């Protein structure tokens, strides 16, 4: 068996992956089905029986490792949910907010017995990294919401409990030397220096690239960056570490020292960088892989990206199997596989003797990365960029320039004579990035929505088609052809889906128990009616619009709390094309005030009926509304939604009704 770690690593990965989706009762059937799939794959790859047995054993081991962690670690910790406990732990990370509140990541023990990492959110404390906090509190589990899958995010990072009500807090300062605290304090100093010289969004871009802290970027800016396909540059990843180590390795090359000493110096720089950037899991993954690559030269071993990737995956997930559900980690692995394994396989026969051929190969490489990441994008995101391969070639070099400007400030300790010109140059680069991203985001066909129900199925089938082609023929040009066919099929399926649903009206009621809005979409156009107002309803509305690719909006109608709503909608819907904004008659409007690009128009919304395109909306006196489309009638209020011909009342806060003009309708949850 050649490349043993690859076969073992892939089997282990699949074992963890499937264990995270199925409970114990269903695992026997799942294991049996997967083993049959393994037999088929082994037949294609012409593997020997002993090799198949090894892979099957490793696959089952991955299943059981996940189960053991679930029962022995996770369950023991979450058993404290709802209990009043005493917690003692050291501060591993701090995130400050503008309202004198802070989020603390703590590593310690519950009741001096059970080891657990928790999240504490409360008033800002006079403490630093590595200080110890002791307090009594009531623990609670995280919950997923429509806007943020909090439970999935924190649990995949090893945090299973949280508290926001700590009593009798005692702070025990750590006066001893701590390398991690020293580096993190230095990072905060550099962050403050950048904020002082560039206090606007240009500085926030530098901070995001250098530390992965995107808190200074507005939601509209983040959206534009991801639609442009360069959002990954704002999160510290393997790309950043590769750039740093490449520069350091080039400098060390000029020093006459042994290969072992060079490796030690590079390794020290890797460790310092990992701590400096907050020890994100994608950077740690890259650090392990780079250690293997640079260490291979010492032991005269040939490097292999897939082999190193499997080893890094195994090392990281063995003590923490829940990482298999961490979106940042999985996307990092997929991206590394795309650029380090899949792209070289597809482009190995492409020539580079002319500029156009080199450009063609670069585009092919970026396309391979997008293909590797796309199935995961469908699972994790509401939309994805179509021009990511091109923008990564054209814009990423500017991102690298901005990143090195930030490094210049960090390396020199924020010295004014270096920091000021470096950040001025970095600010210009940031401004260019933001302008390009803003322009790209305003063009509808540069990104596609991922919320449609048919997408996961067709993406799984097309991914299987590409994988089968690669394994069966083992030729890059055949794989490239399968990718092209898959892209064409995906585009055609989108047009077919829209054509088949041209007679369908979609009504989305989104929000919480306190805020709610209704989005009505039919045949490419839509209307928004905010039932309650408030800032949060704009966020929920924006998420629906992005998820289902709703760009053109005929009207937005505000019924209550219109002042705060107008401000929030103006920010959240900055990339949408809006024709009319309606507000109640008692609203005070400044001269020439524009909301979402429109001058607000006054209207009554009590016991009136309005005609919207091919449907009507009746505003009731109780604050609810009824949408009439042919024979279908859908009634929406803050706390429920119903439709004609059905006696059930649906109270889920985020629901959708799909109806046709003949009175046929279906309802489903958006969460």
How far does CA 91 lie from the centroid of its chain? Answer: 25
Nearest partner of 196 among 225, 181, 219, 216, judged by Cα: 216
Residues 481-495 have pLDDT tens digits of 888 898 888 888 888
Residues 208-263 have pLDDT tens digits of 888 887 878 888 888 888 888 888 888 777 778 888 888 888 788 777 777 788 88
Element counts in the chain: helices (H) and strands (E)? 22, 21
Q: Identify whether the C-beta of residue 594 lies closer than 8 Å to the C-beta of residue 618.
A: no
Q: Is the pLDDT of residue 1 over 70?
A: no
As a residue count, the chain comes to 671
State mean pLDDT over 342-370.
Answer: 84
Q: Is the pLDDT of residue 150 over 60?
A: yes
Q: Is the pLDDT of residue 91 over 90?
A: yes
pLDDT at 55: 77
Q: What is the pTM of this model?
A: 0.86
Give Cα separations from 158 to 89, 102, 142, 331, 401 (angstroms): 15, 20, 12, 18, 34
State mean pLDDT over 493-498.
Answer: 83
Q: Is the dihedral of CA 525, 531, 534, 537 positive or negative?
A: negative
3-state secondary structure of 326: coil
Beta strands in 98-202 (DSSP E): 101-110, 114-123, 132-138, 159-163, 166-172
Residues 161-185 have pLDDT tens digits of 999 988 999 999 988 888 888 888 8
Distance CA 307, CA 7 (A): 9
How far does CA 363 lie from the centroid of its chain? Answer: 24
pLDDT at 303: 74
Q: Is the pLDDT of residue 160 over 90?
A: yes
Q: Identify whether the C-beta of residue 152 lies closer than 8 Å to the C-beta of residue 323.
A: no
Between vectors from CA 471 to CA 467 and to CA 477, what angle results, nearest 5°? 80
Higher pLDDT, 562 or 429: 429
Q: Is the pLDDT of residue 582 over 80?
A: yes
pLDDT at 456: 85
**Which of 256-260, 378-382, 390-394, 509-513 shows the lowest mean pLDDT across its residues?**
256-260
Q: Is the pLDDT of residue 200 over 80?
A: yes
Higher pLDDT, 33 or 344: 344
Q: Specify whether the backbone of 372 is left (phi greater than 0), alpha (psi in -120 to 50) or beta.
A: alpha
pLDDT at 645: 65
Tokens of 320: 């923490």
Q: Which residues pair with 167 in a beta bridge?
A: 136
Residues 509-549 have pLDDT tens digits of 998 878 889 999 988 788 999 988 877 889 999 999 989 88
How far does CA 626 lie from the centroid of its chain? Answer: 36
State mean pLDDT over 591-600.
Answer: 86
pLDDT at 161: 95
Percentage of the residues of the chain whose pLDDT score is greater than 90: 17
Q: Identify whether the C-beta of residue 86 lies closer than 8 Å to the C-beta of residue 114.
A: no
State mean pLDDT over 271-279.
Answer: 83
Nearest partner of 14 among 26, 1, 36, 31, judged by Cα: 31
567 pLDDT band, cuts 50/70/90, is: confident
Distance CA 576, CA 582 (A): 16
pLDDT at 639: 83
39 pLDDT band, cuts 50/70/90, is: low
Distance CA 211, CA 279 (A): 10
Q: Identify whether the C-beta of residue 1 lies closer than 8 Å to the C-beta of residue 51.
A: yes
> What value does the CA radius of gyration of the chain take, rounded to a whole number of Å?
27
Average pLDDT, the chain: 85
Distance CA 56, CA 457 (A): 26
Distance CA 524, CA 502 (A): 9
The strand pair at 625-629 and 516-522 is best described as unpaired
Residues 107-149 have pLDDT tens digits of 999 999 899 999 999 999 989 889 999 999 999 999 988 888 8
Distance CA 157, CA 150 (A): 11
Count other Cβ atoms within 10 Å, centred on residue 253: 9
Distance CA 153, CA 327 (A): 8
State mean pLDDT over 621-643.
Answer: 85
Tokens 């993954």 sit on residue: 285
Residues 410-440 have pLDDT tens digits of 888 888 899 899 999 999 999 999 999 988 8
Beta strands in 394-537 (DSSP E): 447-449, 504-511, 516-522, 525-530
pLDDT at 22: 65
Q: Is the pLDDT of residue 497 over 60?
A: yes
């Amino acid at each position: 068996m050649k490349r043993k770690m690859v076969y073992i690593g892939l089997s282990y990965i699949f074992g963890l992956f499937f264990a995270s989706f199925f409970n114990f009762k269903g695992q026997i059937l799942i294991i049996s089905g997967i083993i049959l799939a393994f037999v088929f794959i082994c037949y294609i790859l012409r593997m020997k029986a002993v090799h198949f047995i090894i892979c099957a054993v490793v696959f089952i081991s991955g299943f059981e490792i996940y189960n053991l962690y679930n029962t022995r670690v996770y369950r023991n910790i979450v058993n404290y949910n709802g209990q009043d406990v005493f917690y003692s732990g050291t501060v591993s990370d701090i995130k400050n907010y503008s309202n004198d509140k802070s989020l603390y990541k703590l590593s310690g023990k519950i009741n001096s017995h059970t080891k657990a990492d928790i999240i504490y959110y409360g008033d800002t404390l006079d403490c630093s990294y590595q200080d110890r906090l002791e307090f009594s509190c009531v623990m609670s589990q995280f919950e997923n919401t429509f806007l943020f899958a909090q439970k999935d995010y924190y649990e995949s990072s090893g945090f299973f409990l949280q508290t926001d009500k700590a009593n009798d807090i005692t702070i025990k300062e750590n006066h001893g030397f701590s390398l991690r605290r020293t580096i993190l304090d230095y990072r905060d100093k550099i962050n403050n220096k950048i904020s002082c010289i560039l206090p606007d969004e240009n500085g926030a871009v530098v901070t995001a690239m250098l530390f992965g802290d995107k808190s200074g970027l507005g939601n509209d800016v983040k959206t534009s960056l991801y639609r442009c396909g360069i959002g990954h540059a704002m999160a510290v990843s393997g790309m950043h570490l590769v750039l740093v180590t490449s520069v350091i390795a080039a400098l060390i090359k000029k020093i006459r020292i042994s290969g072992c000493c060079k490796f030690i110096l590079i390794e020290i720089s890797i460790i310092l960088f990992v701590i400096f950037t907050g020890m994100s899991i994608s950077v740690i993954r890259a650090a392990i892989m780079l250690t293997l690559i640079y260490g291979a030269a010492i032991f005269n071993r040939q490097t292999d990206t897939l082999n190193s990737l499997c080893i890094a995956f195994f090392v990281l997930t063995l003590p923490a199997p829940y990482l298999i559900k961490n979106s940042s980690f999985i996307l990092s692995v997929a991206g590394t596989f795309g650029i380090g394994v899949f792209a070289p396989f597809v482009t190995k026969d492409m020539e580079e003797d002319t500029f156009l051929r080199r450009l063609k190969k670069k585009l092919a490489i970026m396309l391979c990365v997008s293909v590797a990441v796309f199935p995961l994008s469908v699972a994790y995101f509401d939309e994805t960029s179509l021009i990511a391969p091109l923008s990564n070639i054209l814009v990423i070099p500017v991102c690298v320039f901005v990143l090195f400007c930030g490094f210049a400030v960090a390396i020199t300790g924020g010295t004014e004579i270096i920091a000021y010109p470096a950040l001025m140059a970095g600010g210009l680069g940031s401004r260019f990035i933001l302008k390009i991203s803003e322009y790209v985001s305003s063009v509808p066909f540069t990104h596609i929505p991922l919320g449609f129900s048919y997408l996961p199925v067709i993406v799984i089938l097309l991914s299987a088609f590409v994988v089968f082609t690669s394994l069966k023929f083992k030729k890059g040009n055949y794989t490239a052809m399968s990718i092209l066919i898959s892209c064409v099929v995906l585009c055609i399926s989108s047009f077919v889906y829209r054509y088949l649903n041209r007679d369908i009206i979609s009504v989305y009621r989104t929000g919480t128990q306190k805020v709610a809005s209704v989005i009505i979409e039919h045949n490419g156009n839509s209307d928004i009616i905010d039932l309650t107002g408030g800032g949060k309803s704009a966020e929920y509305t924006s998420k629906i619009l992005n998820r289902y690719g709703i760009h053109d909006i005929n009207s937005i109608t505000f019924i209550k709390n219109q002042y705060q709503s107008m401000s929030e909608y103006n920010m959240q819907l900055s990339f949408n094309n809006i024709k009319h904004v309606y507000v109640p008659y008692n609203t005070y409007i400044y001269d020439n005030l524009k909301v979402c690009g429109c001058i607000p128009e006054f209207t009554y919304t009590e016991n009136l009926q309005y005609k919207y395109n091919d449907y009507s909306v009746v505003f009731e006196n109780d604050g609810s509304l009824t949408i009439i489309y042919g024979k279908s009638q859908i009634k929406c209020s803050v706390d429920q939604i119903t439709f004609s011909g059905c006696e059930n009342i649906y109270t889920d806060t985020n629901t959708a009704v799909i109806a046709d003009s003949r009175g046929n309708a279906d309802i489903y949850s958006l969460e």
